[in-house]
Structure 1
Amino acid sequence: MLRLSVGAVRTRWHLFAGAVAAVALGVGLVQSGLQMLAATDRPALPAGLSPYDRARVREGYVGAATLLGMSVMLAVFLTVFIVSTTFGFTVVQRRRELGLLRLVGAQRGYLCLMLVTEAGLLGLIGTVVGAPLGLLGTWAQSWLLIKLGMLPSWFDAPWDQGAVWAAMIVGVSTALAGVLAAAWRASRISALEALTESRAAQRVMTGWRWFWGLSAGFCTVMLVIAAQAARDLVAALMIGLVVMITGSVALSQLSPIVVPLAGRLPAAVLRGNLIADLARAGVLHAVRRSSATAAPLIVLVGLVVGLWGTFGSLAKAVGVEQERLITADLVVDHAIQRGPDIAVASRQTAVPITVTRGRTTVYSEGIGIDPAAYLQTHKLRPRTGSLDRLTGRTIAIGPGMAAEGYKLGSTLKIALGNRTVVAKVVAIMPETLDVSENFFIPRTLLPAGGRTETLVKVAPGIEPSRVAAGFDGKVQTVGEWAEDRGAAQQRSNSGLFAALMGLAGIFAAVAVVNAVVMSTADRRREFALARMAGLTRAQVVTVALIESATVVIVGVLLGSLVAAAALAGIAAGPYGLAALAIPWRLLGLIFGAALIVVGAAAAFTAHQATRPQPVSLLAARE
């Protein structure tokens, strides 16, 4: 058994190279992620930091740990996905070989054990290759998170032997988990069915594929309807995250139905062209090959574009919400006094604050406000209590802390600068999308310093532009200021998104190239026949290029459909299309990169496959 599995891996290395690369990447990322998680769980903070600075550093560590945990789970998921895709494809290509084994007496359990052994060997090879990658991954992730500002410059992730052993276990386990479905499918092969190449052997849409595709599609439709009916932005965002997964699964499973329809595209664009007709025939005939290539693109576009659109819409909604909640005309980046042309000048000064409730201490920012001016420039009103009572030793709970269980009338110990007072909670604000305002305090409690901005409402009949011209510093309209807040939120999300989705892009590229290489390995005879029929070597490569471009178009279109379904609930939310952010540039970038990567892989493998003389391939015995 072991000798047979080793021989299969050695002779079919070109089929398993992508799976080995996926396991190696997965092991490296899991190892580096676990090593980083161990370092953030036991942070070493330098002496001399203030309690506020220590809290900010620890908050960054928590955010980094969350991101690292997501990257580890994503790496495991994508590794299993690629390994399962690889073995599913190899089972199809090895039907004749497996049928011969059944014909000479091999039992179903023997075939399952053979494939599982092959997967175990690939897992071991990928683990050995991936362990050194973990060291490079730790350095790369540390550098990235420091650049994003989530970790301090002194952060260091020391060697953790437990992370290495855990990554090795994950590498072998994911390889074995990925082969289970393919092993079961191989055990169902009938010897005569495989040898005669019957219609059942060539069938792509199996019963399980129909079941998973239609089930996931039904769930996706129901979730989209629920998101639109809810008309709530947060609910739409949460449902959209699930829609990305169910929609990607549905269209990946049902892609063989769409591929034949899209396969007519080359002939429609290049009508009457022999090369385009051959490419169309190739896509129509090799539905399994085309769908295997399109599936990772569907997942990539659905997840990346959907997540970027979701994060972008959330950031944009923050700006839209603030614009609708503010009744002022201008925002100035320093303190402004009321004058003849200024009806209201609401100053807001942010200072570090320490709030202690029982045994819980929160290090945050407090916003010093004048309650009367605040109420004249904001539509937001307290959920309970009143801002009119925000005088003396009192405090109001802002939108960022509204869900943390603070009680109206309770007392909190607050530290502002060198001063510590006991303040009574007189108001609790409702939750908003912008969670940057945590506590409101009277301006009489403000210590020296802080960051001040002033919301200005001009007097009736006065043009805001004329008043703005008389101010120094940065002056914005409320619309511009709100847009900047949304853009700042998006910049914060962009770094996290790039760190997470860059990982998905690497795995998707491995999966696509793996599918192209595996499919081309079985096309040597097909290419030889085409050349014997009169096509040149360059024409054969061109046919492969057009086929790959068609599959890319199919994958990107289906993935875009998934992303659109995920964003549909946001468009039906309270802010409508004003809060919808469609990442057109990202979609174009993915489409162009996919064309280049898939086209280059198809052209290279086709060029290599056509190197032998056609006669030598056609004359060779199988």
Structure 2
Amino acid sequence: MFQMSFSTFRERWELFIGAILSVGVGVALVQASMLVLAATGEPQIPPGTSRQAEDKIREGFVAAATVMGMTAFLAMFLAVFIVSSTFSFTVAQRRRDLALLRLTGGSRTQLRALLLSESLLLGVVGSALGVPFGLIAKYAQTRLLVEIGLLPEGFTAPWALWAVVVSGIIGVCVALAGVFTASLRAAKILPLEALRETGKAAEVMTVSRWFFGLSFAFCTISMVMWAQGANLIGAMMAALGISMFGAVAMSMLSPLVVPFTAWLFGVLVPGSTLVGLAQANLRDGVRRSAATASPLIVLVALLLGLAGTFGSLSAAGGEEAKRSVNAHLVVSSTGEEAERLAGIEGVAVASRQNAVDITITTEKTQNKRVIKRNFYSGIVAVDAADYARTHTLPPARGDLAALAGNTVFTGPARNADRIAPGQVLPAEAGGQPLQLTVVGGYPETLEMGDSFLVPRQALPRQVWAGAPTETVVQVAQGQDPDAVAERIEKAGFSQVQTVSQWAIARAENAQDGNVKILTVLMGLAGLYALMAVVNSVVIAGSERRREFAVSRVTGMTQPQVVRVAVVEAIGVAVIGLVLGCVVAGAGLVGIGGAVHKAIGTTVVFIPWTLLAIVAMGSVGIVAVTSAVTAAIATKDRPVSLVTTKE
């Protein structure tokens, strides 16, 4: 069997090279993600780092570990999906060869063994290629994480043999899993049906395809409905599941859309002979069109789905911030400078929020062990009365009026820590020890929010005087906010914003961070899926030499044949784009419902710019790849190909 597998590889290498590269890139991404993930377990803190900067670095390591875990998961999903669809298409292209093998005495078991041995060989070769690719992918992922600020400069992820072994095993398992279903289907088809393209061999929507397509569609719809009432973390996870499950469902059911697309081509461009031929090719090559569209569906669903999810959360965070402030202006300054705001004409309330550099220590018991954690950032000094007048978010526990003296209020960022009122938290402010009693806490919000609120009078003046400060200004009744803003600027304050401008800026900053994370999460994975699109187009075109030759001997020129292939490929690309957008839209419906539950209004972000780039890029790449493949496939004399017996 292995000898036959080697012979098949030599003779039909163009069918396998794409699957080998798919396994190799999948192994590389998984290997790199595991190495970086393992290295983030021990934060590398540069010497001389301030306490707040150290806190930020540790949070960045946690975020990087989360991103790398998701990247490894996506890489494995893409590897299984792409290798499975690629190998299924490859087996379908070799149906006649396999039928002849059966007619010469080969059994179904031997046929399955042949295909599985080919996949084993494919997995071993692909995994071997993935090891050096993994070093490149590790460097690329590390640089991306450093560039977006999650990891510090100088971060390194040491090479480890265990990651190579684990990713290699995953690569072989992915290859075997990818061909398993295709081998079962190939063995069930009768040899004569395969030779004549009749019976089960002519079926595209098989029982298994219907079953898996409808099952994944049902799971996708269920996740969309569940996300409507879930919290935001659950909705984010559901959005990822919707993108993956929906992409699989649409890929399985895509043959149902091909005939409609062929009809639509005829309606939109009537009277064109070349388009009519492309339309006929779409109707006749449903399996080929579906296999080519599948990786594009995954690419569009994941990119647009995740971008829309992150963008919606950022926009909702800005809307929530705007609604949580009962004021007109927000002024940025130092704590000392902010003291002058209350005396400016037209200012009714000036709620100063000093981001102070102090330490608060929390303790909790876990598995009979006392775990201490120091917080240096996200601690804000406020005047409780002014804060209550300018902020509308109600506390989840306690009363803000109790925030006086040596007390502390837990912010939205610490809601999940369940720090109960009455607990005493040790603190250090300007070298002075403090004992702060917890008197209440705020609920979780869309944004991370502050960690702790402390009374300004409990802190030495030098602690908050030079601290970065945002002052929320409520304008006196009858005063024009624009006129008050102008007076504040003339008083020497350079950064004065309306609450709407301030909220929009917060949303844009959050979106910038999300875009950076999305770049790491989907950058290499997106290139991986795009490579699969190119591979599918190449396989589909390279196996149509005789079909192209028949078109040429009937009177078509080589440029005309190439144009027909390009038009057909564009139609397939449109199918993939539309179905991928349907999946991404389903994810937005889910996240929109979760946002509505959280803040009382539906906020949805549609990434139009990314959609335009993906659409034009995908169509362009598919068209160019199809043109090059068709040109190569038609370079031989057509008569020699037409008269060749298959």
Which TM class, normalised by the smaller chain length? over 0.9
Please state if 1:427 is matched with 2:431.
no
Which 5+ residue runs of structure 1 have no aligned equivalent? none
Please state if 1:289 is matched with 2:260.
no
Aligned to 2:366: none
Map of 1:250-261 to 2, 5 A cutoff? 250-261=249-260
Q: Shift in Å at residue 556 of structure 1?
A: 0.7
Calculate the aligned-residue CA RMSD, in Å: 1.8
Q: Which moved more, 1:424-433 or 1:99-108?
A: 99-108
Q: Shift in Å at residue 596 of structure 1?
A: 1.2
Please state if 1:559 is matched with 2:583.
no
Q: Distance in 1 between matches of 2:41 and 2:10?
A: 43
Counterpart among 337, 342, 351 of residue 341 in structure 2: 337
Q: Distance in 1 between matches of 2:287 and 2:186?
A: 16
Q: After superposition, what is the alpha-carbon deviation per residue over 1:496-527, rounded to whole angstroms, capped at 9, x for unaligned? A: 10111112321221211111111112211110
Please state if 1:464 is matched with 2:481.
yes
Please state if 1:619 is matched with 2:631.
no
Q: Shift in Å at residue 50 of structure 1?
A: 4.4
**Equivalent AA in structure 2 for residue 594 of structure 1:** S
Which runs of 4 or more aligned residues in structure 1 lie more than 6 Å from their structure 2 counterparts after TM superposition? none
Q: Which moved more, 1:394-403 or 1:165-174?
A: 165-174
**Equivalent AA in structure 1 for residue 356 of structure 2:** V
Please state if 1:316 is matched with 2:315.
yes
Q: Shift in Å at residue 138 of structure 1?
A: 1.9
TM-score, normalised via structure 2 length = 0.93
Please state if 1:496 is matched with 2:496.
no
Map of 1:183-262 to 2, 5 A cutoff? 183-228=183-228, 230=229, 236-262=235-261
Q: Which moved more, 1:412-421 or 1:479-488?
A: 412-421
Map of 1:478-493 to 2, 5 A cutoff? 478-493=499-514
CA contact (8 A) 1:265 1:550 kept: no
Q: After superposition, what is the alpha-carbon deviation per residue over 1:435-486, rounded to whole angstroms, capped at 9, x for unaligned? A: 2211000112341432101100010000000000112211111011011111
Q: Which moved more, 1:528-537 or 1:335-344?
A: 335-344
The DSSP-based 3-state class of the residue aligned with 2:393 is coil
CA contact (8 A) 2:292 2:540 kept: no
Q: Distance in 2 between matches of 1:456 and 1:45?
A: 38
1:49 to 1:384, Cα distance in 2 relative to 1, 3 A: same
Aligned to 2:109: 109
Map of 1:359-378 to 2, 5 A cutoff? 359-363=371-375, 364-378=377-391
Q: Which moved more, 1:37-46 or 1:493-502?
A: 37-46
Q: Distance in 2 between matches of 1:147 and 1:47?
A: 20
Counterpart among 352, 364, 383 of residue 357 in structure 2: 352
CA contact (8 A) 2:421 2:439 kept: yes
Q: Distance in 2 between matches of 1:500 and 1:488?
A: 18
Q: Shift in Å at residue 253 of structure 1?
A: 0.8
TM-score, normalised via structure 1 length = 0.96
Counterpart among 383, 387, 411 of residue 396 in structure 2: 383
Aligned to 1:4: 4
Q: Distance in 1 between matches of 2:222 and 2:524?
A: 30
Q: Shift in Å at residue 238 of structure 1?
A: 4.4
Q: Distance in 1 between matches of 2:600 and 2:268?
A: 37
Aligned to 1:541: 562
CA contact (8 A) 1:123 1:175 kept: yes
Q: Distance in 2 between matches of 1:49 and 1:166?
A: 36
The DSSP-based 3-state class of the residue aligned with 1:352 is coil
**Equivalent AA in structure 1 for residue 456 of structure 2:** R
The DSSP-based 3-state class of the residue aligned with 2:418 is coil
Aligned to 2:97: 97
Q: Shift in Å at residue 578 of structure 1?
A: 5.6
CA contact (8 A) 2:112 2:184 kept: yes
Identity %: 45
The DSSP-based 3-state class of the residue aligned with 1:105 is coil
Aligned to 1:582: 606
1:577 to 1:249, Cα distance in 2 relative to 1, 3 A: farther
Q: Shift in Å at residue 136 of structure 1?
A: 1.5
Q: Distance in 2 between matches of 1:324 and 1:147?
A: 33
Q: Which moved more, 1:12-21 or 1:131-140?
A: 131-140
**Equivalent AA in structure 2 for residue 369 of structure 1:** V
1:126 to 1:288, Cα distance in 2 relative to 1, 3 A: same
Q: Distance in 2 between matches of 1:467 and 1:204?
A: 70
CA contact (8 A) 1:396 1:440 kept: yes
CA contact (8 A) 1:517 1:601 kept: yes
**Equivalent AA in structure 2 for residue 182 of structure 1:** A
CA contact (8 A) 2:86 2:291 kept: no
Aligned to 2:274: 275
Q: Which moved more, 1:459-468 or 1:110-119?
A: 110-119
The DSSP-based 3-state class of the residue aligned with 2:471 is strand
Map of 1:592-607 to 2, 5 A cutoff? 592-607=616-631
Which 5+ residue runs of structure 2 have no aligned equivalent? 364-370
The DSSP-based 3-state class of the residue aligned with 1:263 is helix
Q: Distance in 2 between matches of 1:592 and 1:374?
A: 50
CA contact (8 A) 2:294 2:576 kept: yes
Q: Distance in 2 between matches of 1:51 and 1:464?
A: 38
